[in-house]
Structure 1
């Protein structure tokens, strides 16, 4: 499930060092969780995340990957933190939804 946004409203803030900061309510919504449950998962170490900085043709973008359980939310954001695309993947699943 991949989605492009015509409305490029920033869902993310940037720290002073340029790192993206995702609002807990926004991220919780992507996983169908309440912000409190997301924060509980964070405290328990159940949330893994990674930020990759685009180079070459992807310069000026970042790929944010957040994993909770078997779900991985991936968003491509521009320099202003506006979402260019996002998708939810499921680990252990091959393309087309078949078990891999």
Structure 2
């Protein structure tokens, strides 16, 4: 895969991870607020637990998407570096 496409994919993944942050926070805050408002009800504690679990899951997903973007960019950089070294090695073989 061309390193330019890897970089573009990495940038897009990183942007998705950043864009998700406020949405994840808002969704979890809404659940936590609802749980707080219902804490005297029997299912208030269950809703609070569910909010905590969703917070962990969604934040983990968001973090992994962002990290995938970083890794795609690192892969592109490594591929470009390797291609450059191979090219230089072949050129040196023909210089006499």
TM superposition score category, shorter chain reference: under 0.3
For normalisation by structure 1, the TM-score amounts to 0.21
Counting strand residues as a fraction of each chain, which structure ranks higher?
Answer: 1
Counting helix residues as a fraction of each chain, which structure ranks higher?
Answer: 2
For normalisation by structure 2, the TM-score amounts to 0.21
- Asked which structure has the greater RCO (Cα within 8 Å, sep 6+), the reply is 2
Quick check: which has more Rg, 1 or 2? 2
